[in-house]
Each structure stands twice: as C-alpha cells, then as structure tokens.
Amino acid sequence: MNRLVLYILLLAAFAFAKGEGACTINSIAWKGEHTAFDEAQIKGALGQPCDAWKALAAKLERYYEDQGFVAARVQGEVRHEGGTHGRNVLELEIQRGAAYVWATPENLDSGGTRRDVFARLTGIEAGEAVSLTDLERSERRLSRIGYYNRTAPTRLFRDPARNRIVPAFSMRKANVSEAEGVLTYSSEGNVWEGKLDVNLFNIAGTARDLQLEGFTGENTRHLSGRYKEPWIFGTAWNVVVRGNFDEETVEDSTIERVVVGEAGITRDIGFDFSIGVFLGISEDDKHTSLEMSYVSLDRFVLPRSGMRLDASASWKIDRPDSLDNYLSAKANVMAYYPLYGNFIARFAGMAGGIFPTEADLRRSDLFALGGPGDFKGMQYRMLRSRAYGLSEFALLWQDGYDLSIEAFYQPGLYRRLAPGHGWAREQGYGIGFTQYRGNWSVNLYYALRNGCDFLDGIIGFGVKTLF
C-alpha cells in the first residue's frame, strides 16, 4: 500500500514538474515594419505552446502569397527572459518582398488550342495580383473542362524587369469530343428505347462547343442541340443558341409536337461559377430563363471528389390564356466524396416545381421524369409532373480512369396529375458498370422500381467513343 502511495506521489510530482517547465508564449514582440492585421493574425499564439506560432505564421504567409507577395516570409524566435520564473517572448519579423502580378499564361505542351484561347480558359487574368490559390483553382478548372491532360506540374517563371510571374502549364490536347449511343430495354412492357449523343468540344482549338442529342421510343421522340460561341467581341460573355423538338403520343392517341428555340448569353464568374440569361419562343409562348451553375469536380472523366450544382428559373408569358402564365424552377446537385482507397460515395438531389399550380398546361410543359438522368428504374420520360423531388445515394468503386462499378438507391416523389391527386412515392435501385479502353468505353446498368418484379427492370447498354 505504501509503495502504491509513493508511486502516485512520484507521478504527481513528475506531472507538476513537467507542467511547470513547459514552454508557453507569454508575449509577442515585432521587429521591423508590420501592420495591425499581422498582429491580429499571430495574436492567437499567446498562451499557447512555443511551437504554435509556426502554423499561424504559415497561414499569414499564404495570405500574402495570394496578394502578390510570392516571396513573403515570417521569421520568428522564442526567447526566454528573466531567469527561472521569467517570460517567453516570441520575436517576429515579416518580410513581404516585392509584389508581383500575373503575366499572360502559357502552355508548354501541345494543347491544340490557340494561345489566346488557352490563356482565357485558365481563368487567370494578366495584370492581377499573383495568387497561388488561384493557380491551384486554375489547374483544377483545366482538368475539369476535359480539353486537356496534364503532363507535368505547373511552373512559375519570374520576369524581374516588370515584377511579373508567368504561369507555365503543361497541358496536352485530350480526346474529349464524344459520340455515345444508349439502348434501354424494359421487360415489364417489352419496350425498346434508344438515345444518341454527339458532343464536339473545343472545335479547332477555339473553345467552341456543339452538342446534339436525339431520342426515340415507343411514344416519344426528341431532338435537341446547343452551340456556344465564346467571348463575343472580346468580352467575357458567351453567346449560346439552343433548341429542341419534341413529339409525343398522348392518352387519346393524338400527337403533340413542340418546337422551342432559345438564345442567350453566359459567362464564367471566377473559376467555378457561371450564369446565363436566355430568351425563348415556341408556337404559343415566349419565355425568359435565368440559370446558374457551380462546378468543383476534380476531373472530367470519372470524377472522385467535388460537386456540381445547376439551377434555373423560367417565366413563360404571352400564352393564349393569360391565366396560363407561370414560373418553372428546378435545381439539381451532385457531390462526390472519397471514402477509402478506390471507394467513393456519390450523393445527388433534384427538385422542381411549377407555379401557380392551377395553370392549365400542356403535357410538354410539365417535368419529364424517367431514364438514365433521374429515375433509372423508369423508361425515358415515363412520367409527367408539376412538382417532384429526387435524391440518390451511390457507392462506387473506381480503378483510375479505366473502370467504375456502382450500386445506387434513388428515393423520390412526384405530384400526380389529374384525375389523380396528392403525392406519389417512387424508389429506384440497381447496379451500374463502366469500362474504359483507350478512347472507347462501354457502360451497363440494371435498375428496378418499387413494386417491380426482379425480372421486369430496365436494362441500359451504352457505347461511347472519344475523338
């Protein structure tokens, strides 16, 4: 017992001695020129261990690196004053150095893009203060748009005559234009459907894009196109022209056809945001749309992290019955989170609504649900609704750029149309597989709906080629 008490007393004495001798910063003394902002950033080191200031100093250095002072350094030393019971004083000095601005970005590899176009695509503006954070965001942006493959780390060259920094990227032209065909089969209704997409990106190295999509099914046919002309008259704005043709056979066997044309302007804001305004017209209405998107995905093909958000609102006017003017709004978000090794989680959500709810609308005015884009367990455009909500969780296993296997679950609901009323719930679930081989890829998925027999699901098969 006496030995136990002695052991406890020795431990207490050791802990007390260690605590008494621990190095803690008692005051901060600055040397040379500095600002109140610098003092505020390092003030948090007071009362902390003597090494705590280094993390705060690194944060302050990064701040100045993002303000053009790429050589900024914070130097410090902890000095003890006053003997055994003295104080620990942190002496600091900040050296910011000269301020630099960006020069026109350059590409050291064969990017297949005009020099001025590449410089604009980076998002870095010549003459702005150098920011290493913006450089990192620019690298992610170039990887995300898919035009290039990075072949070497980005390098910085200094032009001391005019205090400029030249960001030199190493980006080689990637085969990003694509043609994809998708064929789906529903054994529940013995229905075949087909879709063909042709997307031409960065045409002739000019950042012009042309996208075409065609679909045909048992009761539905669809054709749409979109063309982007970038940086009109040297401004940051792009002109986008798009249109679509839809033909559907409705319940009473009549055929409803709709042709819509739209023209608008878009522009990038920073590295991740873009906005757009469109004016559209069809045979019996005019409409105005406002759109916004945010993209922070890490790469174009098989992303592993980041998110994408798209939202739009459209006001339709000048219809035959003035009571039928209405607002349509929708949004969707998708986020990727690496879990462990090659395992990745994907979360998605979509929602849409039409206001006012009492408007008398055509079938083509309503939201179309079903198909690879949302409820995978339904045929393409199987349902029409005034309002809907959909979420998705998927667990993916990815082997680099070559292989992706996923299991997904999609709970959702939609507003029934007359003569039905209220909300109806839907659930979809299934598995998917994508295999890349060079510039070719194949994908396959099998999806089921709630209440659907296991042999009555949707089988989708697609083939894509990059060029």
User: Among candidates 335, 442, 463, which has minimal Cα distance to 396?
Assistant: 335
Q: Are the beta carbons of 170 and 458 closer than 8 angstroms?
A: no
Residue 81, pLDDT score: 81
- DSSP count for the chain of H helices, then E strands: 5, 25
Name the pLDDT band for 12 (thresholds 50, 70, 90): very low
Average pLDDT, the chain: 89
Residues 346 and 382 in one domain: yes
**Burial degree of 242 (CB within 10 A; 0-12, 13-18, 19+):** middle
pLDDT surpassing 80 at residue 15:
no
Same-domain status, 143 and 31:
no
| Cβ neighbours, 10 Å, residue 219 | 16
Residue 391 shares a structural domain with residue 444: yes
Quick one: 198 and 241 in the same domain?
A: yes
- Residues 90 and 146 placed together within one structural domain of the fold: no
Find the Cα–Cα–Cα–Cα dihedral 318, 215, 179, 183, rounded to 10°: 150
Give the separation between CA 463 and CA 439, rounded to whole angstroms.
Answer: 11
Same domain (yes/no): 110, 215: no
CATH code where residue 109 lies? 3.10.20.310
Q: pLDDT tens digits for 180-237?
A: 999 999 887 788 999 999 999 999 999 999 999 999 988 889 999 999 999 999 899 9
Q: Is the preceding peptide bond at 320 cis, omega within 30 degrees of 0?
A: no
At 7 the pLDDT is 53
Q: Which tens digits make up the pLDDT trace of 324-345? A: 688 999 999 999 999 999 999 9
Overall size of the chain counted in residues: 467
8 A C-beta contact, residue 383 and residue 412: no
Q: Confidence band (pLDDT; 50, 70, 90) for 319? A: low
Flag whether 455 is in a domain. Answer: yes
pLDDT band of 418, cuts 50, 70, 90: confident
What DSSP line would sit under 169-218, residue for residue? EEEEE----EEEEEEEEETTTTEEEEEEEEEEEEETTTTEEEEEEEEE-S
Co-location of 258 and 398 in the same domain: yes
Residues 157 and 109 in one domain: yes
Q: How far is CA 401 from the centre of its chain?
A: 18
Contact 145, 122 (CB under 8 A): no
Residue 21 has pLDDT above 60, yes or no: no
Cα distance from N-terminal residue to C-terminal residue, the chain:
82
How many whole angstroms separate alpha carbon 180 and alpha carbon 174? Answer: 17
Residue 190 has a pLDDT of 85
Q: Are residues 250 and 125 in the same domain?
A: no
Pairing of strands 164-173, 106-107: parallel
Has residue 126 got a pLDDT over 50? yes
Is position 354 within any domain?
A: yes
Whether 367 and 381 have beta carbons less than 8 Å apart is answered as no
CATH code at 239? 2.40.160.50
Smallest Cα–Cα separation from 429: which of 417, 412, 442?
Answer: 412
Q: Among 119, 148, 173, which residue terminates a domain? A: 173
Using the 3D structure, point to which of 152, 173, 194 is the last residue of a domain.
173
Q: With bands split at pLDDT 50, 70 and 90, how would you rate the model's confidence at 365?
A: confident
Is 13 part of a structural domain of the chain? no
**Nearest residue to 285 via CA among 198, 362, 186:** 362
291 DSSP β-pair partners? 276, 312
Query: Would you give the distance in Å from CA 106 to the centre of its chain?
Result: 25
Nearest to 41 by CA among 15, 65, 17, 59: 59
120 has pLDDT over 70: yes
Cβ partners under 8 Å of residue 7, min gap 6: none
Tell me which residue of 61, 55, 91, 65 sits closest to 73, measured CA to CA. 61
**214 and 114 inside one domain:** no
Residues 345 and 412 in one domain: yes
Q: Residue 403 has what pLDDT?
A: 92
Same domain, 249 and 288: yes
CA 122 to chain centre: 16
Question: How many distinct structural domains can be found in the chain?
Answer: 3
* DSSP line for 4-24: HHHHHHHHHHHHHHHHHH--B
For residue 462, being part of any structural domain is answered with yes
What pLDDT does residue 20 have? Answer: 44
Out of 56-70, 161-175, 307-321, pick the least confident: 307-321
Let me know if residue 222 belongs to a domain: yes
DSSP state of 130: P
Residue (of 256, 264, 265) closest to 280 by Cα position: 264
Is 4 within a domain?
no
* Confidence tier at 456 by pLDDT (50, 70, 90): confident
Assign 3-state DSSP to the chain and report helix, strand, coil percentages, each to 5. Answer: 15, 55, 30
Q: Directed axis angle between helix 132-145 and helix 115-122, to 10°?
A: 110
Which of 5-14, 218-227, 399-408 is predicted with the least confidence, judged by mean pLDDT? 5-14
Dump pLDDT digits (tens) for 133-163: 999 999 999 989 989 999 999 999 988 778 8
CA dihedral 450, 453, 455, 461 (to 10 degrees): -20
**Which of 131, 157, 173 finishes a domain?**
173
391 against 187, higher pLDDT: 391
User: Whole domain around residue 336: which residue ranges?
Assistant: 178-466
Mean of the pLDDT values across residues 171-187? 92
Domain contains 460: yes
Q: In this structure, is residue 128 part of a structural domain?
A: yes
DSSP lists the bridge partners of residue 304 as: none
Average pLDDT over residues 155-177: 90
Q: Name which of 188-192, 249-253, 325-329, 354-358 the model is least confident about.
A: 249-253
